[in-house]
Structure 1
Amino acid sequence: MTTLYMPLFRSCSTLRQLTQLHAHLVVTNLHNDPLPSTKLLESYAQMGSLQSSRLVFYSYPSPDSFMFGVLIKCYLWNHFFDQVVSLYNHHFHTGSHFTQNCRFIYPSVLKAASAVGDLVLGRKLHGRIVKSGFCSDSVIGTSLLAMYGELCCLSDARKVFDEMFQRDLVSWSSIVSCYVENGVPREGLEMFHLMVSEGIRPDSVTLLSVAEACGKIGCLRLAELVHGYVIREGMVGDGSLCNSLIVMYSQCGYLCKAKRLFEYLDDRSTSCWTSMISSYNQNECFEEALDAFIQMQDSEVEPNEVTMISVLYSCARLGWLKEGKSVHCFVLRKAMDAADLDLGPALIDFYAACWKTTSCEKLLYSIQNRNVVSWNTLVSYYAREGFNKEAMVLFARMVAKGLMPNSFSLASSISASASAGSIQFGQQIHGHVTKRGFMDEFVQNSLVDMYSKCGFVDSAYTIFNMIRKKSIVTWNCMICGFSQNGVSVEALSLFDEMNVNRLEINEVTFLSAIQACSNLGYLEKGKWIHHKIIVTGNQKDLYIDTALVDMYAKCGDLQTAQRVFDTMLEKNVVSWSIMIAAHGIHGQINAAISLFTKMVNSNIKPNEVTFMNILSACRHAGSVSEGKFYFNSMKDYGIVPNAEHFASIIDLLSRAGDINGAYEIIKSIRTPVDASIWGALLNGCRIHGRLDLIENISEELGGIRTDDTGYYTLLSNIYAEGGKWYESRKVRSRMEGMGLKKVPGYSTIEIDSKIYRFGAGDTSEWQMKEICMFLENFQSLAQEQGCDVECSMYNISSVRKYKQN
């Protein structure tokens, strides 16, 4: 008898009608029957009244597992994914019969787990499915496959697919979609080829993924084959598929074909217009996209949220604030929800592109917790634009509200903490990521980069070794991390490992390897890498050529550095600055000045680094007049001298004996004087015996907080040389009180294509006795020739002690 009420449920178009039907079922005592109760659950949920659905479920005398599965679906339909997970976990841990051997609830809970990014729960569900013996269920198998795909676990998705007992069209379409959505379209097309070879006839849903894959690859031939198949199979009437074909052609760079297909369609729906607007955007025809939107309105076709996202994107890329605000008003007038999964982020992206961060935050807080993507978008924007503190604060607020960050906001926040040098914040995010089990490629690479930039290269290498499938970005992050932290031997070892294993090497890899050679002075290795660059066709890259100039110069081969510089097709201010520095460190002041003049005549404006290099060249050559000239000419280019410029000119004057002139420049500095500036003057006073200024400099250094021990060591040595042992010990005690330790110096030498590194007191090399004997004889010979050899620079007693041993 209860089946007679089924047509009545279908006739209920409003919540009021459904409530009246519910009341009638209660009066007739039919609300305790499972069929109408389950239908009530579904109907209330479809009308958005989840509270009524819960009331029906919990007022039913003995709800079964099927009804519980329907309630879970009700939450899922209303996008309450967190509540789905909480509800399932609650009943599972309390031992409720709802979750015992119930195959109906697994697809819904798996969908919720992927929606909240909970991979740990997904794996637990997979284990329970295996234990319950539901692996043969094709619906559950496809849900598992989709869950792993949405959580970027392609290897797990493929394993589930390979172990499926029966692969139907849905499962094949799912695996193709997994590969395409995760950025590996070629593998998706390979799976499509296997699907066709096994006699599975694709439908329009499968072809949607195939068209997307062709677009991502950008292969016109494949695109035309797909289009031909659609025509041959009579699927041209499918609006969604036609829209995908339009986007596919635009992604292949053939906007004319996309436009021709669009004009061929008789019935242009909202999605069709949206696809065309999106196609214009993909080809950076933003004004044409806005014109298409105007034509769409003239055609009296109502836009939807997706249309407005594309229009907002056009306004953002053009920087048209006025027009974008009009679009925002249009959204409000049409009662579109700014908390929509994509519309909210699009609005935030638009205002961010127009540098209206206040509007971004107002919009974000008006949306509140309803749109996680909006929070992720703003966090990523702050990090991308260098607002590191704002990115970290916003991320912390987001997590405090219980919102789940995605891989992009996690990677952006980690990057912000690296740029800000906040290792503690980065470690907290690392712990959060580990706890969630959410370690995709973006997050892992960001962690490697963060630990490297913060100086924790061992932690970076630990994460690097834990990554099973390393992309070229992962390798580059680690090689760059080693190189930037002075661990250049390890950087080159990783580069050699990539080369031996025939892994892909790009421009970034070469740049890091060249930098490592520069740090080590490893000329032969640098030449080998240069040869490899030529073989791979990267020799005309501006950044690589500039790095090669720097490497050859620092390795002492100035002639080759000049030859690489002269053959560069394009030179920027960095290239010129590095070549000027190259001549400077080799003492060729005239060549450095000539290059500076040529650079200015080439209409390339020098920057702060250029002037730093030309001043350094003057300092190496002792050219005081030229140094003064270039220091004074900085204002002609609108450049305000910084601490490094002041330290360089002070060092130049001090070494030349103009201590008073250097001191006058220091007194003219309006900003707080850096320790490096006082250190430069201090060194000059030591060279020329101006001990009258030492006390003043000591007082000034005492009020400056610096981690550089060189200035304190220099001051201590000056006191020691003057016989003021108490003052010398006092400076050393001050260093210890500040927790500073003198960083031991070291030297490197290349012999037979091998790098040797040694420092003071190092006895690890087998040739040490011969080296010490040579140095002792060399000192004796120098003293016989009347040369003044400073014993403080070489501890001869330790050499004699080593020889005796």
Structure 2
Amino acid sequence: MVVARFEGWSKQGVFRSFSDMTGDERLLQIVKGQLEKEPCSIQWGVQASSHSYLSLLRRCIDKKDLVTGKQVQTHMIQTGFKPSLYLANTLLLMYVKCGTLVEARKVFDQLCKRDMFTWTTMLAGYSSNGEFLETFNLYEQMLSQGVTLDRIIYTRVVNACTSLRSLEKGKKVHANIIRSRIRSDTILDNALIDMYAKCGSIKHACQVFDNMAERNVVTWNVMIAGLAQHKCGKEAFELFLQMQREGMMPDKVTLLSILNASASPEGLEQGKLVHSYIIQAGHELSDTHVNNALVSMYAKCGSVESARQVFDQMPNRNVVSWNAMIGGYAAHGQCEEAFGIFNQMHHQGVKPDIITFLNIVKSCCSPKALEQGKWVHAEIMKAGFEFDVRIQTALVRMYSKCGSIEDAWQVFNRMRTRNVISWTAMIEGYVEHGLYEEALGVFRQMQQEPVKPDRILFTCIVNACTSPVALEQGKQVHAYITSCGFESDVHVGPVLITMYAQCGSIKEARQVFDKLRNRNVVAWTAMISAYAEHDLHDEAFQVFHQMQQELVEPNRVTYISILNACTSPASLKQGMQVHAQITDAGFGSDVNLRNALITMYMKCGSISAARHVFDDMQSRDVVSWNAIIGGYAQHGYGEDALNLYRQMKGEGLVDEGHQHFSSMDQDYKVMPTLDHYCCMVDLLGRTACLQEAEDFIQRMPFEPDASIWSPLLGACHRYGKVEVVEHVADWTLKLDSQDAAVYVLLSNMYAAAGMWENVEKVRYLMKDRGVKKGGGCSWIRTENKSHEFVAEDREIDTLLNK
């Protein structure tokens, strides 16, 4: 029995007398009265039972009334009340529900005895309030004290590991789940898949997925999202199809995940298929989120036109829609289009947010966009975002790329706070403008600030020390990098190697290379390139072979670097071996590699091999032409060099011809006729683009006839392409097997190539098919009259049989 003494109870707001209250209500008033130290003159006997305290605490839980809850606990302490475990758990739950984890933990730690509800409540409190490390620590305490864990607890702990991005902790929890032989369920398995995917092990996520007895739509969504996160777009799409085959219909989350998985240039075709599915499912016209994902997907796939089509057809747009479209144009350097959307957004009364301004600032990336960039800067100031560190950093980059490094410095200098990204942007701007001393000055200033540098910043500043006169500065930067623990970083190490090589210190470049604990392909390539640039060709090949022995796959840049080490006839054999490796690796069609091969063969004296590589190229750039023309000129083949120069100019006309041909339909809505196609084939043939001409014919919207193939046959004869003329002749003779000109052209080409057996075969085929060449004729004009001389067929046969 607890007796409360009152001097008087007349506080305003009490609507009934104390005697009319229930026991719980009396206790509540007494609790508040005692804590507020109100005067008492009347004695009221109130039975403070567990039931009364429970009622009060439950009321506090429902209303999240932390103040009263604390008063109840204080009343229990002051009156010496010893709560039961059930009451103590309710008190613990009250603190957890009110978000006061410190007080909750005090209650938890003071309990001599705990049951499953105690542990679960405390664990749930930590996980629900984002205290994930404390969640995991409490889980380990439960294990150490032999508490039996259920699926709900394991799910919470797995989710905590996900939030901590701790693969190691997640694996430990999974191992305990397996050892405990607890029957897993879909919710726990889904949590494990999500944990493995987000913690970096998509392999383990797939294993959990494959072993699941039952899957729901969340399972598929989590797995597809995980594959998307790991850039496994093809696998995600296969899962999307499998999901439907197994009778599970995708929901909105599935569609958003698969569109994200398709958001890369190589995912465009599957993105289009997903778009078709969305249209069939009826999502496109109604769901803004799905439409936004479509716009973003097409933009990231490089198809900005498709993104714009989706955007224009959207019935409802939010700021995310506008940001996606502006960001798509910005990412592809289409400044004017980005500004067009930005202005349209303004006219429609949509208020830009920080992302809008970040995207539109990004679109200003060349000197001609400087004025637009300044206008955007003014708009940012009007919107009140001027001092946002992200915006200011973007402005520093914008002014640098637009050529105004002074404006970039002014923005940087006015920044109230700077993070490592801000410092990197300013240093990068100075380096891009060749202002290396200024870049080093900013770097020294940064060292006086409490800024933790990262690998990107170090990469930028090392690039400011790339000449022999900057060697000492480079060593100082290197020393600072070492003190920060980045010397062995796989990203910083290769840049240091390149820096020392460009400063002329190949010995120190090798020392950096030898200290790298984990060498990736970039590090190996940097060392090979360093040796090649210093004409240490044997050393370059030694590193190249060592790289392959350690099972590191060379990339395109590696092959280009090692080809630069083949500079004389003595290294021709090595160059040919590298050429074979390039082909085996599937890089044979890469333009940059083929350019390097042409240069290598020319330096090694094999002009025929260089020409073969050149002629076999599907597409060429100016470097290709420079390499082959320069090679011929250096070897004294001036006429060949001039002929190639003329051919190069002709291919320029081909590009112009393509533009005019395309504009007929696109700009003037005039459908090209057969004559137009004939002109294009003739243009391609005259400039030796024989394969392109054949492909062009195959893509025609109507069946080709002999008039199309004839100019290509003539071009094949002109350039001596026997293997091509055979293929084209086959197509032509299918249309007209009696076309004698084709047989004669084939015979002449075989004869010019010394393929006499083939000449006999053509002649036999003509006789077998009864093909006769019409008589040749000549004209002579005398006394204003033309005289025609016709050779008889038998005379032609005699000539052919000679």
Q: Which category of TM-score, normalised to the shorter sequence, fits these structures?
A: 0.5 to 0.7
Task: Kindly report which structure 2 residues correspond to 1:450-489, keeping only aligned pairs within 5 A, or say none.
Answer: 455=507, 466=518, 476-477=525-526, 479-481=528-530, 483-484=532-533, 488-489=537-538
| More off after superposition, 164-173 vs 207-216 | 164-173
- TM superposition shift of 1:243: 0.6
Residue by residue over 1:621-657, the C-alpha shift from the partner in whole angstroms, topping out at 9 and shown as x without a partner, is xxxxxxxxxxxxxxxxxxxxxxxxxxxxxxxxxxxxx
RMSD value, Cα: 5.8
Whether 2:175 is the aligned partner of 1:130: answer yes
- TM superposition shift of 1:381: 5.9
Q: 1:487 to 1:212 in 2, by over 3 A?
A: farther
Q: Secondary structure, in 3 states, of the residue corresponding to 1:518?
A: coil
Between Structure 1 and Structure 2, how many residues are aligned? Answer: 545
- TM superposition shift of 1:193: 3.8
Asked if the contact 1:451–1:457 (Cα under 8 Å) also holds between the matched residues in 2, the reply is yes
Whether 2:70 is the aligned partner of 1:26: answer yes
1:238 matched residue in structure 2: 287
Q: 1:400 to 1:545 in 2, by over 3 A?
A: same
Q: Secondary structure, in 3 states, of the residue corresponding to 1:202?
A: coil
Asked if the contact 1:552–1:558 (Cα under 8 Å) also holds between the matched residues in 2, the reply is yes
In structure 2, which of residues 342, 355, 358 is the aligned counterpart of residue 309 of structure 1? 358
Whether 2:82 is the aligned partner of 1:37: answer no
Q: 1:212 to 1:39 in 2, by over 3 A?
A: same
Task: Kindly report which structure 2 residues correspond to 1:281-430, keeping only aligned pairs within 5 A, or say none.
Answer: 281-316=330-365, 320-331=369-380, 333-335=382-384, 343=391, 345-354=393-402, 355=405, 356-359=407-410, 361-362=412-413, 366-368=416-418, 374=422, 390=439, 394=443, 401=450, 403=452, 405=454, 408=456, 422=474
Asked if the contact 2:237–2:270 (Cα under 8 Å) also holds between the matched residues in 1, the reply is no
2:726 matched residue in structure 1: none
- TM superposition shift of 1:516: 1.8
CA distance in 1, matches of 2:524, 2:387: 40
The residue type equivalent to 1:130 in the other structure is A
Asked if the contact 2:228–2:260 (Cα under 8 Å) also holds between the matched residues in 1, the reply is yes
Structure 2: runs of 5 or more not aligned: 1-54, 75-87, 111-117, 650-802
The residue type equivalent to 1:35 in the other structure is L
Q: 1:159 to 1:25 in 2, by over 3 A?
A: same
Q: 1:524 to 1:200 in 2, by over 3 A?
A: same
CA distance in 1, matches of 2:362, 2:282: 34
Whether 2:250 is the aligned partner of 1:215: answer no
CA distance in 2, matches of 1:283, 1:168: 39
Residue by residue over 1:141-163, the C-alpha shift from the partner in whole angstroms, topping out at 9 and shown as x without a partner, is 65665565456554565556557
Whether 2:320 is the aligned partner of 1:276: answer no
CA distance in 1, matches of 2:477, 2:517: 22
Asked if the contact 1:345–1:373 (Cα under 8 Å) also holds between the matched residues in 2, the reply is yes
The residue type equivalent to 1:126 in the other structure is K
Q: Secondary structure, in 3 states, of the residue corresponding to 1:302?
A: coil
Q: 1:140 to 1:279 in 2, by over 3 A?
A: same
Asked if the contact 2:154–2:173 (Cα under 8 Å) also holds between the matched residues in 1, the reply is no
Task: Kindly report which structure 2 residues correspond to 1:166-185, keeping only aligned pairs within 5 A, or say none.
Answer: 168-185=216-233
- TM superposition shift of 1:245: 0.9
Asked if the contact 1:550–1:578 (Cα under 8 Å) also holds between the matched residues in 2, the reply is no
The residue type equivalent to 2:291 in the other structure is C
In structure 1, which of residues 525, 533, 537 is the aligned counterpart of residue 574 of structure 2? 525
Task: Kindly report which structure 2 residues correspond to 1:146-225, keeping only aligned pairs within 5 A, or say none.
Answer: 146=194, 149-150=197-198, 154-155=202-203, 158=206, 168-218=216-266, 220-225=268-273
Asked if the contact 1:452–1:460 (Cα under 8 Å) also holds between the matched residues in 2, the reply is no
Whether 2:307 is the aligned partner of 1:258: answer yes
CA distance in 2, matches of 1:395, 1:111: 39
Q: 1:492 to 1:285 in 2, by over 3 A?
A: same
Identity among equivalent positions (%) equals: 22
1:764 matched residue in structure 2: none
The residue type equivalent to 1:110 in the other structure is C
The residue type equivalent to 1:213 in the other structure is A
Residue by residue over 1:494-531, the C-alpha shift from the partner in whole angstroms, topping out at 9 and shown as x without a partner, is 76799999998765344222212227941233356568
Pick the structure with greater CA Rg. 2
- TM superposition shift of 1:225: 1.9
The residue type equivalent to 2:252 in the other structure is S
Q: Secondary structure, in 3 states, of the residue corresponding to 2:264?
A: helix
The residue type equivalent to 2:98 in the other structure is L
| More off after superposition, 103-112 vs 382-391 | 382-391
Whether 2:164 is the aligned partner of 1:113: answer yes
Asked if the contact 1:145–1:160 (Cα under 8 Å) also holds between the matched residues in 2, the reply is yes
Q: 1:446 to 1:152 in 2, by over 3 A?
A: farther
- TM superposition shift of 1:403: 4.8
Asked if the contact 1:249–1:258 (Cα under 8 Å) also holds between the matched residues in 2, the reply is yes
- TM superposition shift of 1:73: 5.2
Q: Secondary structure, in 3 states, of the residue corresponding to 2:263?
A: helix
- TM superposition shift of 1:450: 7.0
Whether 2:559 is the aligned partner of 1:514: answer no
CA distance in 1, matches of 2:551, 2:279: 43
Q: Secondary structure, in 3 states, of the residue corresponding to 1:315?
A: coil
Q: Secondary structure, in 3 states, of the residue corresponding to 2:328?
A: helix
- TM superposition shift of 1:270: 1.5
Q: Secondary structure, in 3 states, of the residue corresponding to 2:98?
A: helix
Q: 1:202 to 1:408 in 2, by over 3 A?
A: farther
CA distance in 2, matches of 1:198, 1:459: 57
CA distance in 1, matches of 2:126, 2:448: 25
In structure 1, which of residues 248, 253, 259 is the aligned counterpart of residue 297 of structure 2? 248
Asked if the contact 1:483–1:516 (Cα under 8 Å) also holds between the matched residues in 2, the reply is yes
The residue type equivalent to 1:287 in the other structure is E
CA distance in 2, matches of 1:75, 1:455: 55
- TM superposition shift of 1:307: 2.0
Q: Which has the higher contact order (CA 8 A, sep 6+)?
A: 1
- TM superposition shift of 1:38: 2.0
Q: What is the TM-score normalised by the length of structure 1?
A: 0.52
CA distance in 1, matches of 2:493, 2:208: 24
2:733 matched residue in structure 1: none
Q: 1:112 to 1:383 in 2, by over 3 A?
A: farther
CA distance in 1, matches of 2:630, 2:434: 30
Q: 1:183 to 1:479 in 2, by over 3 A?
A: farther
The residue type equivalent to 2:67 in the other structure is A
CA distance in 2, matches of 1:460, 1:164: 48
